[in-house]
Amino acid sequence: MMDIKETLTVYANENDKGKRIDKFLNELIDDATRSYVQKIIDNGLVEIQGKKITKSGNKLKGTEIIVVNIPEDEVLDLTPEDIPLDIIYEDSDIVVINKAPNLVVHPAHGNYSGTLVNALLYHIKDLSTINGVIRPGIVHRLDKDTSGVIVVAKNDEAHGKLSEMFKEKTLEKIYVCIAKGIFKEKSGRIETLIGRDSRDRKKMAVVNENGKIAISNYEVIDEGKNHSLVKVRIETGRTHQIRVHMKHLNHPIMGDTTYGNGNDGADRQMLHAYRLKFIHPTKNTEMTVIAPLPEDFKRAAKHVGVDISKIESEIKNGK
């Protein structure tokens, strides 16, 4: 009997008519492999209209209610890997990393190597155990191709207190991005609901109902001919929040092939978490950690003619 980690209830629509259930679920579950999806179907963890199915080739009619039970990961041990880490700060309770782009934070759904967690297991002796063997020390996430600040807990006390800060939204999280176009309003507050995109369930979207509140505050720092350098402070931490909000404003992030119209001269979305302010979980002192801009971000800024000197000055001065 598999232990269930999460239960998802989703609705097939006309766009899904004739689609195989395994393909549908592969689009739904983040980072899932086809073999992983077939495994949960084979184990009777998927129901269509209240009936368990065990055949991956079942085709949808486009009107069904589908319940998916996501099992706990079965991996007992992860392999430490000598993946380079840029450590900004470290003490006996926490370690702060400037995460490189193209690095997944933790293993998931059959992909158990090449992640930040594998690197942490190699470089850091002790990590908190609250999130189990798959996510040791992990308190929050960044998307694979988003670079910047991640704070990791070395013990359970630090993990618990940091998790509470994220839950209560008492941290200050600031990002910088290069967005397409010139903003009419040079600053503003975006408050919407964000939920799964009904047309592509691996994407998120601004929705009118059945979403979670998402709040982003933006400020244009500089403008080129066709791009803008934008600072974004988020009050919530929804999946793909800044990327979705920038698309909502019709200013998708440069290089974002999921929410934009192409790579636009960049190999990944130009989004960097450069500042995190929080109370140290055991010392009770205010901390501000800064992650320098990666080289690909600097090259992209130069390519589109936006000036990053103000952001670089803030980073240099630790502000």
Active-site residue numbers?
Answer: 143
CA distance 255 to 172: 26
Q: How many CA atoms lie within 13 A of 186 on its CB side?
A: 4
First to last CA, the chain: 52
Q: How far apart are CA 99 and CA 273, in angstroms?
A: 9
Do residues 221 and 311 lie in contact, with contact meaning Cβ atoms separated by under 8 Å?
yes
Q: How many CA atoms lie within 13 A of 199 on its CB side?
A: 4
Q: What residue has token string 């798959």?
A: 134
Alpha carbon distances (Å) from 245 to 21, 194, 242: 30, 9, 5
Side by side, the strands of the sheet bearing 46-48 are 4-11, 65-71, 46-48, 51-53
Hey, which residues does 154 pair with through a beta bridge?
A: none
- What is the DSSP secondary-structure string of 118-153? HHHHHH-S----TTTTTSTTB-----TT-EEEEEEE
Are β-strands 227-234 and 271-279 bridged in parallel, bridged antiparallel, or unpaired?
Answer: unpaired
- Residue 226's SS3 state is coil
